[in-house]
Structure 1
Amino acid sequence: MEAGLEKFSEKKIAETISNSSRNMENMKRTPIKLNIETYPETVAEYMKDSVIYDSSCSPQAKVIFINKDEGYFLKEAAKGTLKTEALMTAYMHSLKLSEEVLYYGTSHGKDYMLSRRIQGEDCTYPAYLAEPKKLCDLIALLLRKLHEIDGKACPVQDRIGTYVESVKHGLDKSSYESDLFKGIWEFNSFSDAKRAAEEGIPLLKKEVLIHGDYCLPNIILNNRKFSGYIDLDCGGIGDRHIDVLWGIWTLNYNLGTIEYTNRFIDAYGRDMIEPEKLRMIAAMEMIGG
Protein backbone atom coordinates (compact mmCIF):
# COMPACT_ATOMS: atom_id res chain seq x y z
CA MET A 1 0.00 0.00 0.00
CA GLU A 2 1.57 3.25 -1.10
CA ALA A 3 1.08 6.45 0.86
CA GLY A 4 -1.30 8.98 -0.58
CA LEU A 5 -0.16 12.45 -1.46
CA GLU A 6 -1.45 15.75 -0.21
CA LYS A 7 -1.13 18.94 -2.20
CA PHE A 8 2.24 20.60 -1.73
CA SER A 9 2.00 23.91 0.09
CA GLU A 10 4.87 26.36 -0.15
CA LYS A 11 3.27 28.31 2.68
CA LYS A 12 3.22 25.21 4.87
CA ILE A 13 6.90 24.53 4.20
CA ALA A 14 7.76 28.15 4.99
CA GLU A 15 5.81 27.93 8.26
CA THR A 16 7.62 24.71 9.16
CA ILE A 17 11.01 26.30 8.48
CA SER A 18 10.03 29.28 10.61
CA ASN A 19 9.00 26.96 13.44
CA SER A 20 12.29 25.09 13.03
CA SER A 21 14.20 28.35 13.41
CA ARG A 22 12.31 29.14 16.59
CA ASN A 23 12.90 25.63 17.92
CA MET A 24 16.64 25.94 17.26
CA GLU A 25 16.57 29.26 19.09
CA ASN A 26 14.85 27.58 22.04
CA MET A 27 17.39 24.75 22.01
CA LYS A 28 20.41 27.02 22.34
CA ARG A 29 23.06 25.49 24.55
CA THR A 30 22.84 26.66 28.14
CA PRO A 31 26.14 27.54 29.86
CA ILE A 32 26.61 25.51 33.05
CA LYS A 33 29.23 25.07 35.74
CA LEU A 34 30.34 21.58 36.71
CA ASN A 35 32.75 20.09 39.20
CA ILE A 36 34.99 18.31 36.73
CA GLU A 37 36.63 16.36 39.56
CA THR A 38 33.51 14.17 39.70
CA TYR A 39 34.09 13.00 36.12
CA PRO A 40 36.48 10.29 34.88
CA GLU A 41 40.03 11.62 34.66
CA THR A 42 40.26 11.29 30.87
CA VAL A 43 37.02 13.23 30.44
CA ALA A 44 38.02 15.88 32.98
CA GLU A 45 41.15 16.65 30.98
CA TYR A 46 39.02 17.70 28.02
CA MET A 47 36.77 19.78 30.28
CA LYS A 48 39.63 21.81 31.76
CA ASP A 49 39.81 25.48 30.76
CA SER A 50 36.72 25.29 28.57
CA VAL A 51 33.21 26.71 28.49
CA ILE A 52 30.67 23.95 29.09
CA TYR A 53 27.05 23.87 27.93
CA ASP A 54 24.06 21.67 28.62
CA SER A 55 22.92 20.37 25.23
CA SER A 56 20.47 17.72 26.45
CA CYS A 57 17.26 17.01 24.56
CA SER A 58 16.22 13.69 26.16
CA PRO A 59 15.59 12.61 29.76
CA GLN A 60 17.43 9.34 29.08
CA ALA A 61 20.84 10.97 28.67
CA LYS A 62 22.55 14.18 29.71
CA VAL A 63 24.51 15.73 26.85
CA ILE A 64 27.25 18.26 27.48
CA PHE A 65 28.95 20.34 24.81
CA ILE A 66 32.57 21.22 25.56
CA ASN A 67 33.46 24.37 23.67
CA LYS A 68 37.15 23.73 23.17
CA ASP A 69 39.21 23.18 20.03
CA GLU A 70 36.62 22.17 17.38
CA GLY A 71 34.18 20.99 20.04
CA TYR A 72 33.38 17.80 21.94
CA PHE A 73 30.18 16.13 23.10
CA LEU A 74 29.92 14.18 26.33
CA LYS A 75 26.98 11.85 26.94
CA GLU A 76 26.16 10.75 30.47
CA ALA A 77 23.54 8.06 31.16
CA ALA A 78 22.71 5.05 33.31
CA LYS A 79 25.33 2.31 33.59
CA GLY A 80 25.52 0.11 30.51
CA THR A 81 23.13 2.17 28.38
CA LEU A 82 25.77 3.82 26.18
CA LYS A 83 27.83 0.73 25.41
CA THR A 84 26.11 -0.13 22.13
CA GLU A 85 26.17 3.48 20.97
CA ALA A 86 29.89 3.73 21.72
CA LEU A 87 30.60 0.52 19.80
CA MET A 88 28.47 1.53 16.81
CA THR A 89 29.84 5.07 16.72
CA ALA A 90 33.43 3.81 16.80
CA TYR A 91 32.62 1.33 14.03
CA MET A 92 30.92 3.98 11.89
CA HIS A 93 33.88 6.30 12.48
CA SER A 94 36.15 3.58 11.09
CA LEU A 95 34.03 3.83 7.93
CA LYS A 96 34.32 7.65 8.02
CA LEU A 97 30.59 7.91 8.71
CA SER A 98 30.56 9.27 12.26
CA GLU A 99 32.50 11.07 14.95
CA GLU A 100 35.56 9.75 16.75
CA VAL A 101 34.87 8.23 20.17
CA LEU A 102 37.59 9.49 22.47
CA TYR A 103 36.41 7.76 25.63
CA TYR A 104 33.80 5.29 26.80
CA GLY A 105 33.64 4.01 30.35
CA THR A 106 31.64 3.59 33.53
CA SER A 107 32.21 5.54 36.72
CA HIS A 108 30.10 5.84 39.89
CA GLY A 109 27.25 3.91 38.32
CA LYS A 110 27.09 6.01 35.15
CA ASP A 111 28.18 5.56 31.54
CA TYR A 112 30.22 8.28 29.82
CA MET A 113 30.90 8.64 26.10
CA LEU A 114 33.10 11.46 24.85
CA SER A 115 33.31 12.18 21.13
CA ARG A 116 34.49 14.86 18.75
CA ARG A 117 31.87 17.17 17.29
CA ILE A 118 31.04 16.46 13.65
CA GLN A 119 31.51 19.63 11.66
CA GLY A 120 28.35 21.07 10.13
CA GLU A 121 24.64 21.28 10.92
CA ASP A 122 21.96 18.62 11.11
CA CYS A 123 19.35 18.37 8.36
CA THR A 124 16.75 20.39 10.27
CA TYR A 125 18.90 23.47 9.61
CA PRO A 126 16.56 26.04 7.96
CA ALA A 127 18.75 26.44 4.87
CA TYR A 128 18.47 22.70 4.19
CA LEU A 129 14.71 22.57 4.84
CA ALA A 130 14.31 25.47 2.41
CA GLU A 131 15.28 23.11 -0.44
CA PRO A 132 13.03 20.12 0.32
CA LYS A 133 13.45 18.31 -3.01
CA LYS A 134 17.24 18.38 -2.77
CA LEU A 135 17.10 17.35 0.87
CA CYS A 136 14.73 14.46 0.13
CA ASP A 137 16.90 13.15 -2.71
CA LEU A 138 20.10 13.54 -0.72
CA ILE A 139 18.99 11.64 2.38
CA ALA A 140 17.49 8.89 0.21
CA LEU A 141 20.74 8.45 -1.71
CA LEU A 142 22.79 8.57 1.49
CA LEU A 143 20.60 5.85 2.97
CA ARG A 144 20.94 3.61 -0.08
CA LYS A 145 24.72 4.09 0.10
CA LEU A 146 24.72 3.17 3.80
CA HIS A 147 22.74 0.02 3.09
CA GLU A 148 25.22 -1.06 0.43
CA ILE A 149 28.15 -1.12 2.87
CA ASP A 150 29.55 -4.54 3.79
CA GLY A 151 28.66 -4.84 7.48
CA LYS A 152 30.60 -8.00 8.30
CA ALA A 153 32.72 -6.13 10.85
CA CYS A 154 29.75 -4.42 12.49
CA PRO A 155 29.77 -5.04 16.28
CA VAL A 156 25.96 -5.46 16.33
CA GLN A 157 25.23 -8.36 13.98
CA ASP A 158 21.64 -8.87 15.13
CA ARG A 159 19.63 -5.69 15.57
CA ILE A 160 16.41 -7.59 14.80
CA GLY A 161 16.42 -9.46 18.12
CA THR A 162 16.36 -6.34 20.28
CA TYR A 163 13.93 -4.65 17.88
CA VAL A 164 11.41 -7.49 18.16
CA GLU A 165 11.86 -7.56 21.92
CA SER A 166 10.85 -3.89 22.07
CA VAL A 167 7.76 -4.57 19.95
CA LYS A 168 6.69 -7.49 22.16
CA HIS A 169 6.99 -5.32 25.27
CA GLY A 170 4.40 -3.00 23.74
CA LEU A 171 1.81 -5.67 23.00
CA ASP A 172 0.04 -4.73 26.24
CA LYS A 173 -0.86 -1.42 24.52
CA SER A 174 1.16 0.60 27.06
CA SER A 175 3.22 2.39 24.38
CA TYR A 176 0.73 2.49 21.52
CA GLU A 177 0.84 5.67 19.40
CA SER A 178 -2.03 5.43 16.94
CA ASP A 179 -1.26 8.72 15.17
CA LEU A 180 2.52 8.25 14.85
CA PHE A 181 2.29 7.88 11.07
CA LYS A 182 -0.94 9.78 10.51
CA GLY A 183 -1.68 10.28 6.83
CA ILE A 184 0.86 7.65 5.78
CA TRP A 185 0.11 4.38 7.60
CA GLU A 186 -3.00 4.14 9.75
CA PHE A 187 -4.96 1.33 11.42
CA ASN A 188 -8.58 1.23 12.52
CA SER A 189 -7.73 -0.15 15.95
CA PHE A 190 -4.95 -1.43 18.19
CA SER A 191 -6.05 -4.97 17.29
CA ASP A 192 -5.49 -4.26 13.58
CA ALA A 193 -2.05 -2.78 14.28
CA LYS A 194 -1.15 -5.71 16.55
CA ARG A 195 -2.17 -8.19 13.86
CA ALA A 196 -0.04 -6.41 11.23
CA ALA A 197 2.94 -6.25 13.59
CA GLU A 198 2.74 -9.93 14.50
CA GLU A 199 2.46 -10.91 10.84
CA GLY A 200 5.48 -8.77 10.01
CA ILE A 201 7.87 -9.93 12.73
CA PRO A 202 8.82 -13.23 10.96
CA LEU A 203 9.52 -11.25 7.77
CA LEU A 204 12.22 -9.02 9.29
CA LYS A 205 15.66 -9.68 7.84
CA LYS A 206 19.23 -9.18 9.02
CA GLU A 207 20.20 -7.92 5.58
CA VAL A 208 21.98 -4.54 5.71
CA LEU A 209 23.81 -2.11 7.97
CA ILE A 210 21.13 0.22 9.36
CA HIS A 211 21.21 3.47 11.30
CA GLY A 212 18.11 2.51 13.25
CA ASP A 213 16.89 6.08 13.80
CA TYR A 214 17.26 7.59 10.34
CA CYS A 215 15.86 11.07 11.02
CA LEU A 216 16.94 14.53 9.87
CA PRO A 217 18.44 15.59 13.25
CA ASN A 218 20.77 12.56 13.11
CA ILE A 219 22.24 13.37 9.69
CA ILE A 220 24.94 16.06 9.68
CA LEU A 221 25.80 18.04 6.55
CA ASN A 222 28.62 20.51 6.10
CA ASN A 223 27.86 22.99 3.32
CA ARG A 224 25.25 20.54 1.98
CA LYS A 225 27.76 17.68 1.84
CA PHE A 226 27.53 14.62 4.08
CA SER A 227 29.57 14.99 7.24
CA GLY A 228 28.42 12.15 9.49
CA TYR A 229 25.72 10.31 11.45
CA ILE A 230 24.99 10.68 15.15
CA ASP A 231 22.83 8.84 17.72
CA LEU A 232 23.68 5.34 16.54
CA ASP A 233 22.44 3.38 19.55
CA CYS A 234 19.78 1.61 17.43
CA GLY A 235 22.19 0.74 14.62
CA GLY A 236 23.46 -2.64 13.50
CA ILE A 237 22.59 -5.33 10.99
CA GLY A 238 18.85 -5.22 10.41
CA ASP A 239 16.04 -4.72 7.93
CA ARG A 240 16.39 -1.86 5.44
CA HIS A 241 12.68 -1.06 5.76
CA ILE A 242 13.20 0.23 9.31
CA ASP A 243 15.44 3.04 8.03
CA VAL A 244 13.25 3.68 4.99
CA LEU A 245 10.22 4.05 7.23
CA TRP A 246 11.92 6.63 9.44
CA GLY A 247 13.25 8.46 6.39
CA ILE A 248 9.67 8.86 5.17
CA TRP A 249 8.43 9.85 8.62
CA THR A 250 11.13 12.46 9.22
CA LEU A 251 10.39 14.27 5.96
CA ASN A 252 6.69 14.30 6.80
CA TYR A 253 7.32 15.51 10.35
CA ASN A 254 9.91 18.18 9.58
CA LEU A 255 8.40 19.50 6.34
CA GLY A 256 4.79 19.23 7.45
CA THR A 257 3.69 17.37 4.31
CA ILE A 258 3.68 13.83 2.89
CA GLU A 259 4.40 15.29 -0.56
CA TYR A 260 7.88 13.73 -0.57
CA THR A 261 6.97 10.14 0.35
CA ASN A 262 7.02 8.75 -3.19
CA ARG A 263 9.96 10.93 -4.18
CA PHE A 264 12.00 9.49 -1.29
CA ILE A 265 11.06 5.93 -2.23
CA ASP A 266 11.96 6.51 -5.88
CA ALA A 267 15.30 8.14 -5.00
CA TYR A 268 16.19 5.26 -2.67
CA GLY A 269 15.09 2.59 -5.16
CA ARG A 270 11.46 1.48 -5.29
CA ASP A 271 12.52 -1.96 -6.49
CA MET A 272 14.18 -2.60 -3.11
CA ILE A 273 11.12 -1.75 -1.03
CA GLU A 274 8.10 -3.88 -0.09
CA PRO A 275 5.18 -1.50 0.64
CA GLU A 276 3.32 -4.02 2.80
CA LYS A 277 6.41 -4.61 4.93
CA LEU A 278 6.66 -0.85 5.52
CA ARG A 279 3.07 -0.91 6.75
CA MET A 280 3.83 -3.83 9.08
CA ILE A 281 6.91 -2.09 10.49
CA ALA A 282 4.85 1.07 11.00
CA ALA A 283 2.54 -1.05 13.15
CA MET A 284 5.54 -2.37 15.10
CA GLU A 285 6.79 1.16 15.75
CA MET A 286 3.34 2.33 16.89
CA ILE A 287 3.25 -0.55 19.36
CA GLY A 288 6.88 -0.75 20.46
CA GLY A 289 7.33 2.92 21.28
Structure 2
Amino acid sequence: MHNLNFPTEIQSRLRSYDWHKDSMGRSASDIFMLTQNGELKLVLKVEQDSPFAELGDEAKRLEWLTEGGVLCPEVQWFEQYEGRQWLLLTALSGTDLVSDPELLPLQQVEILADALRHLHSLDWEGCPYDHTVERGLREAEARMKAGLVNEDDFDPEWQGEPAQKLFSYLTANIPEGHEKVLCHGDACLPNFMATAGDFSGYLDCSRVGLADRYQDLALAVRSIRYNHDDAAVEHFLKCYGIEQFDKKRATFFTTLDEFF
Protein backbone atom coordinates (compact mmCIF):
# COMPACT_ATOMS: atom_id res chain seq x y z
CA MET A 1 0.00 0.00 0.00
CA HIS A 2 2.86 2.37 0.78
CA ASN A 3 4.14 1.87 -2.79
CA LEU A 4 1.01 3.55 -4.14
CA ASN A 5 0.97 7.30 -4.66
CA PHE A 6 -2.24 8.24 -2.90
CA PRO A 7 -4.41 11.16 -3.98
CA THR A 8 -3.90 14.02 -1.56
CA GLU A 9 -7.62 14.17 -0.76
CA ILE A 10 -7.65 10.68 0.69
CA GLN A 11 -4.35 10.54 2.57
CA SER A 12 -5.69 12.27 5.67
CA ARG A 13 -8.80 10.07 5.69
CA LEU A 14 -6.74 6.89 5.90
CA ARG A 15 -4.12 8.06 8.38
CA SER A 16 -5.98 6.88 11.48
CA TYR A 17 -6.65 3.37 10.16
CA ASP A 18 -4.72 0.14 10.39
CA TRP A 19 -4.76 -1.75 7.11
CA HIS A 20 -3.91 -5.01 5.41
CA LYS A 21 -4.15 -6.21 1.85
CA ASP A 22 -6.80 -8.80 1.06
CA SER A 23 -5.08 -11.75 -0.62
CA MET A 24 -8.09 -14.09 -0.75
CA GLY A 25 -10.17 -12.66 -3.58
CA ARG A 26 -9.76 -13.06 -7.33
CA SER A 27 -10.52 -9.45 -8.19
CA ALA A 28 -8.47 -7.48 -10.73
CA SER A 29 -8.28 -4.75 -8.07
CA ASP A 30 -5.92 -4.42 -5.13
CA ILE A 31 -8.17 -4.51 -2.07
CA PHE A 32 -7.18 -3.07 1.30
CA MET A 33 -9.09 -3.63 4.54
CA LEU A 34 -9.02 -0.61 6.86
CA THR A 35 -9.65 -1.17 10.57
CA GLN A 36 -9.93 0.88 13.76
CA ASN A 37 -9.56 -0.82 17.15
CA GLY A 38 -9.66 -4.17 15.40
CA GLU A 39 -12.99 -3.49 13.69
CA LEU A 40 -13.24 -3.38 9.90
CA LYS A 41 -14.55 0.03 8.89
CA LEU A 42 -13.64 0.73 5.28
CA VAL A 43 -12.52 -1.08 2.14
CA LEU A 44 -10.28 0.57 -0.44
CA LYS A 45 -10.16 -0.82 -3.98
CA VAL A 46 -7.47 0.29 -6.43
CA GLU A 47 -7.40 -0.77 -10.09
CA GLN A 48 -5.35 0.17 -13.13
CA ASP A 49 -7.39 2.56 -15.26
CA SER A 50 -8.30 1.08 -18.65
CA PRO A 51 -11.34 0.70 -20.93
CA PHE A 52 -12.02 -2.56 -19.08
CA ALA A 53 -11.66 -1.28 -15.50
CA GLU A 54 -14.74 -1.96 -13.36
CA LEU A 55 -14.46 0.25 -10.29
CA GLY A 56 -16.24 3.18 -11.91
CA ASP A 57 -19.06 0.83 -12.89
CA GLU A 58 -19.19 -0.51 -9.35
CA ALA A 59 -19.33 2.96 -7.81
CA LYS A 60 -22.28 3.98 -10.00
CA ARG A 61 -24.19 0.78 -9.30
CA LEU A 62 -23.59 0.92 -5.56
CA GLU A 63 -24.90 4.49 -5.43
CA TRP A 64 -28.00 3.43 -7.37
CA LEU A 65 -28.55 0.38 -5.16
CA THR A 66 -28.07 2.42 -1.98
CA GLU A 67 -30.68 4.93 -3.14
CA GLY A 68 -33.08 2.00 -3.54
CA GLY A 69 -32.44 0.70 -0.03
CA VAL A 70 -30.54 -2.41 -1.15
CA LEU A 71 -28.01 -3.78 1.35
CA CYS A 72 -24.56 -3.09 -0.08
CA PRO A 73 -21.41 -1.06 0.69
CA GLU A 74 -21.84 2.70 0.52
CA VAL A 75 -19.51 4.72 -1.69
CA GLN A 76 -17.41 7.15 0.36
CA TRP A 77 -15.16 8.37 -2.43
CA PHE A 78 -14.21 7.59 -6.03
CA GLU A 79 -11.52 9.15 -8.20
CA GLN A 80 -9.35 8.47 -11.23
CA TYR A 81 -5.81 9.49 -10.33
CA GLU A 82 -2.41 8.82 -11.90
CA GLY A 83 -3.55 5.95 -14.08
CA ARG A 84 -5.63 4.22 -11.42
CA GLN A 85 -9.21 4.11 -10.23
CA TRP A 86 -9.70 4.49 -6.48
CA LEU A 87 -12.90 3.42 -4.71
CA LEU A 88 -13.43 3.78 -0.96
CA LEU A 89 -16.39 1.91 0.53
CA THR A 90 -17.98 1.30 3.89
CA ALA A 91 -17.45 -2.24 5.14
CA LEU A 92 -20.44 -4.51 5.56
CA SER A 93 -20.94 -6.30 8.86
CA GLY A 94 -20.36 -10.02 9.09
CA THR A 95 -18.48 -12.50 6.93
CA ASP A 96 -18.90 -13.71 3.37
CA LEU A 97 -20.97 -16.88 3.14
CA VAL A 98 -18.22 -19.31 2.24
CA SER A 99 -15.84 -18.04 4.96
CA ASP A 100 -18.26 -17.98 7.90
CA PRO A 101 -17.29 -20.86 10.23
CA GLU A 102 -20.66 -20.68 11.97
CA LEU A 103 -22.69 -21.39 8.84
CA LEU A 104 -23.27 -24.94 7.66
CA PRO A 105 -23.34 -25.46 3.87
CA LEU A 106 -27.13 -25.74 3.76
CA GLN A 107 -27.45 -22.52 5.75
CA GLN A 108 -25.11 -20.78 3.32
CA VAL A 109 -27.17 -21.76 0.30
CA GLU A 110 -30.43 -20.83 2.03
CA ILE A 111 -29.12 -17.30 2.61
CA LEU A 112 -27.85 -17.12 -0.97
CA ALA A 113 -31.20 -18.29 -2.36
CA ASP A 114 -33.14 -15.78 -0.27
CA ALA A 115 -30.80 -12.93 -1.24
CA LEU A 116 -31.06 -13.70 -4.96
CA ARG A 117 -34.81 -14.23 -4.88
CA HIS A 118 -35.20 -10.85 -3.15
CA LEU A 119 -32.95 -9.07 -5.64
CA HIS A 120 -34.70 -10.67 -8.60
CA SER A 121 -38.10 -9.61 -7.26
CA LEU A 122 -37.26 -5.91 -6.98
CA ASP A 123 -38.99 -3.39 -9.20
CA TRP A 124 -36.33 -2.55 -11.78
CA GLU A 125 -38.30 0.21 -13.51
CA GLY A 126 -35.82 2.92 -14.39
CA CYS A 127 -32.74 0.74 -13.86
CA PRO A 128 -30.06 2.25 -16.13
CA TYR A 129 -27.79 -0.80 -16.13
CA ASP A 130 -27.88 -3.42 -18.85
CA HIS A 131 -26.34 -6.85 -18.28
CA THR A 132 -28.21 -8.63 -21.05
CA VAL A 133 -26.78 -11.38 -23.25
CA GLU A 134 -26.23 -8.99 -26.14
CA ARG A 135 -24.09 -6.67 -24.07
CA GLY A 136 -22.30 -9.59 -22.46
CA LEU A 137 -21.31 -10.98 -25.85
CA ARG A 138 -20.04 -7.60 -27.03
CA GLU A 139 -17.91 -7.21 -23.91
CA ALA A 140 -16.69 -10.81 -24.10
CA GLU A 141 -15.55 -10.34 -27.69
CA ALA A 142 -13.81 -7.06 -26.84
CA ARG A 143 -11.97 -8.68 -23.92
CA MET A 144 -10.95 -11.62 -26.10
CA LYS A 145 -9.56 -9.34 -28.81
CA ALA A 146 -7.69 -7.33 -26.16
CA GLY A 147 -6.03 -10.51 -24.85
CA LEU A 148 -7.68 -10.26 -21.42
CA VAL A 149 -9.24 -13.75 -21.31
CA ASN A 150 -7.26 -16.14 -19.10
CA GLU A 151 -7.51 -19.45 -20.95
CA ASP A 152 -5.53 -21.20 -18.18
CA ASP A 153 -8.37 -20.46 -15.74
CA PHE A 154 -11.20 -22.05 -17.73
CA ASP A 155 -13.50 -24.53 -16.00
CA PRO A 156 -12.55 -28.22 -16.49
CA GLU A 157 -14.94 -28.75 -19.42
CA TRP A 158 -13.15 -26.03 -21.39
CA GLN A 159 -9.56 -26.66 -20.29
CA GLY A 160 -7.12 -26.62 -23.21
CA GLU A 161 -9.54 -24.88 -25.56
CA PRO A 162 -8.92 -21.42 -27.07
CA ALA A 163 -11.22 -18.54 -26.15
CA GLN A 164 -12.40 -18.32 -29.76
CA LYS A 165 -13.93 -21.80 -29.49
CA LEU A 166 -15.88 -20.75 -26.40
CA PHE A 167 -17.05 -17.60 -28.14
CA SER A 168 -18.22 -19.62 -31.14
CA TYR A 169 -20.17 -21.86 -28.76
CA LEU A 170 -21.81 -18.80 -27.21
CA THR A 171 -22.89 -17.24 -30.50
CA ALA A 172 -24.35 -20.57 -31.63
CA ASN A 173 -26.26 -21.19 -28.39
CA ILE A 174 -27.84 -17.86 -27.41
CA PRO A 175 -30.78 -18.66 -25.10
CA GLU A 176 -34.24 -17.92 -26.44
CA GLY A 177 -36.55 -15.70 -24.46
CA HIS A 178 -36.18 -14.72 -20.84
CA GLU A 179 -37.74 -12.53 -18.19
CA LYS A 180 -35.53 -9.58 -17.29
CA VAL A 181 -34.82 -9.26 -13.59
CA LEU A 182 -32.35 -7.24 -11.56
CA CYS A 183 -29.28 -9.48 -11.33
CA HIS A 184 -26.11 -9.32 -9.28
CA GLY A 185 -24.00 -10.50 -12.19
CA ASP A 186 -21.37 -12.42 -10.19
CA ALA A 187 -23.45 -14.48 -7.80
CA CYS A 188 -20.83 -16.66 -6.15
CA LEU A 189 -20.87 -17.42 -2.43
CA PRO A 190 -18.03 -15.04 -1.44
CA ASN A 191 -19.98 -12.07 -2.83
CA PHE A 192 -22.78 -12.38 -0.27
CA MET A 193 -22.38 -11.39 3.37
CA ALA A 194 -24.08 -12.59 6.53
CA THR A 195 -23.94 -11.71 10.20
CA ALA A 196 -25.38 -13.88 12.98
CA GLY A 197 -26.99 -16.09 10.35
CA ASP A 198 -28.78 -13.25 8.55
CA PHE A 199 -27.98 -11.78 5.15
CA SER A 200 -26.14 -8.46 5.49
CA GLY A 201 -25.37 -7.36 1.94
CA TYR A 202 -24.11 -7.81 -1.60
CA LEU A 203 -20.43 -7.40 -2.53
CA ASP A 204 -18.62 -6.78 -5.84
CA CYS A 205 -21.54 -5.14 -7.62
CA SER A 206 -19.83 -3.90 -10.81
CA ARG A 207 -22.01 -6.17 -12.99
CA VAL A 208 -25.39 -5.43 -11.42
CA GLY A 209 -28.02 -4.88 -14.09
CA LEU A 210 -31.02 -6.22 -15.96
CA ALA A 211 -30.49 -9.77 -17.15
CA ASP A 212 -31.82 -13.30 -17.43
CA ARG A 213 -32.09 -14.71 -13.88
CA TYR A 214 -29.87 -17.59 -15.04
CA GLN A 215 -27.00 -15.10 -15.15
CA ASP A 216 -27.12 -15.40 -11.36
CA LEU A 217 -28.48 -18.92 -10.95
CA ALA A 218 -25.81 -20.48 -13.17
CA LEU A 219 -22.91 -18.86 -11.34
CA ALA A 220 -24.48 -19.57 -7.96
CA VAL A 221 -24.85 -23.27 -8.76
CA ARG A 222 -21.27 -23.46 -10.02
CA SER A 223 -20.00 -21.78 -6.84
CA ILE A 224 -22.04 -24.06 -4.58
CA ARG A 225 -20.87 -27.18 -6.40
CA TYR A 226 -17.24 -26.00 -6.20
CA ASN A 227 -17.44 -25.26 -2.47
CA HIS A 228 -19.85 -28.01 -1.39
CA ASP A 229 -21.71 -30.77 -3.23
CA ASP A 230 -24.73 -31.69 -5.35
CA ALA A 231 -26.93 -31.96 -2.26
CA ALA A 232 -26.24 -28.31 -1.47
CA VAL A 233 -27.03 -27.40 -5.08
CA GLU A 234 -30.39 -29.18 -4.90
CA HIS A 235 -31.18 -27.44 -1.62
CA PHE A 236 -30.34 -24.05 -3.14
CA LEU A 237 -32.61 -24.63 -6.14
CA LYS A 238 -35.45 -25.79 -3.88
CA CYS A 239 -35.07 -22.72 -1.63
CA TYR A 240 -35.00 -20.38 -4.62
CA GLY A 241 -38.04 -22.06 -6.15
CA ILE A 242 -36.61 -23.76 -9.24
CA GLU A 243 -38.36 -27.05 -10.01
CA GLN A 244 -36.56 -27.81 -13.28
CA PHE A 245 -33.06 -26.37 -13.62
CA ASP A 246 -32.25 -25.46 -17.23
CA LYS A 247 -28.75 -26.91 -17.59
CA LYS A 248 -28.27 -25.74 -21.17
CA ARG A 249 -29.13 -22.15 -20.27
CA ALA A 250 -26.87 -22.37 -17.23
CA THR A 251 -23.98 -23.67 -19.36
CA PHE A 252 -24.32 -20.66 -21.63
CA PHE A 253 -23.90 -18.25 -18.71
CA THR A 254 -21.03 -20.10 -17.04
CA THR A 255 -19.27 -20.16 -20.42
CA LEU A 256 -19.89 -16.44 -20.89
CA ASP A 257 -18.38 -15.85 -17.46
CA GLU A 258 -15.09 -17.40 -18.61
CA PHE A 259 -14.43 -14.13 -20.46
CA PHE A 260 -14.59 -11.97 -17.33
Report the TM range for the smaller structure's normalisation.
0.7 to 0.9
TM-score (norm 1): 0.73
Determine which of 71, 74, 84 is the counterpart of 1:110.
84
How many Å separate the matches in 2 of 1:83 and 1:179? 26
| Structure showing greater Rg | 1
Match of 1:78 in 2: 48
Paired residue for 2:248?
Answer: 276
**In structure 2, how many angstroms separate the alpha carbons of the residues matched to 1:205 and 1:279?**
15
Change (3 A) 1:220 1:91: same
Contact 1:206 1:237 survives alignment (8 Å): no
| 1:181-260 aligned within 5 A | 196-201=169-174, 203=176, 205=178, 207-255=180-228, 257-260=229-232
| Aligned residue type for 1:65 | M
Separation (CA, whole Å) in 2 of partners of 1:126 and 1:268: 21
Using the aligned pairs only, state the percent identity. Answer: 20
Please give the per-residue CA displacement for 1:32-91, whole angstroms capped at 9, x wherever unaligned. 6x378x422332232122222222444721111221375111111122621101111222
Q: Secondary structure at the match of 2:230?
A: coil
Deviations 1:232-278 (A, max 9, x none): 112211111010011101111112x2222222222212258544312
Deviates most, 104-113 or 163-172:
163-172
User: 2:110 maps to which residue?
Assistant: 137
How many residues are treated as equivalent by the alignment? Answer: 249
Task: Give the whole-Å Cα distance in 2 for the aligned partners of 1:227 and 1:253.
Answer: 23
Q: 1:224 to 1:199 in 2, by over 3 A?
A: same
- d(CA) in 1 for partners of 2:26, 2:249: 30
Higher mean C-alpha displacement, 236-245 vs 70-79: 70-79
Shift of 1:112: 0.6
Q: Partner of 1:267 in structure 2?
A: 239
State the one-letter code of the partner of 1:180.
Answer: D
The yes-or-no answer on 1:151 pairing with 2:124 is yes
Structure 1 residues 206-226: Cα deviation after superposition (integer angstroms, max 9, x where no partner)? 701111111111101011111
SS at match of 1:147: helix
SS in structure 2 at match of 1:96: coil
Q: Which has the bigger relative contact order, CA under 8 A and spacing at least 6?
A: 1
- Give RMSD over aligned pairs: 3.3
What TM-score results when the alignment is normalised by the length of structure 2?
Answer: 0.81
Q: Does the 8 Å CA contact 1:200/1:281 hold for their aligned counterparts?
A: no
Please give the alpha-carbon distance, in whole angstroms, between the structure 2 residues aligned to 1:178 and 1:109.
Answer: 27
- Structure 2, unaligned runs of 5 or more: none
Unaligned runs of 5+ in 1: 1-31
Offset of 1:165 from its aligned partner?
Answer: 2.1
Counterpart CA distance in 2 for 1:134 and 1:107 is: 42
Structure-1 separation of matches of 2:175 and 2:246:
15
Q: CA deviation at 1:196?
A: 4.7
- Of the three residues 43, 46, 58, the one matched with 2:10 is 43
Q: Which has the higher helix share?
A: 1
CA distance in 2, matches of 1:100, 1:45: 19
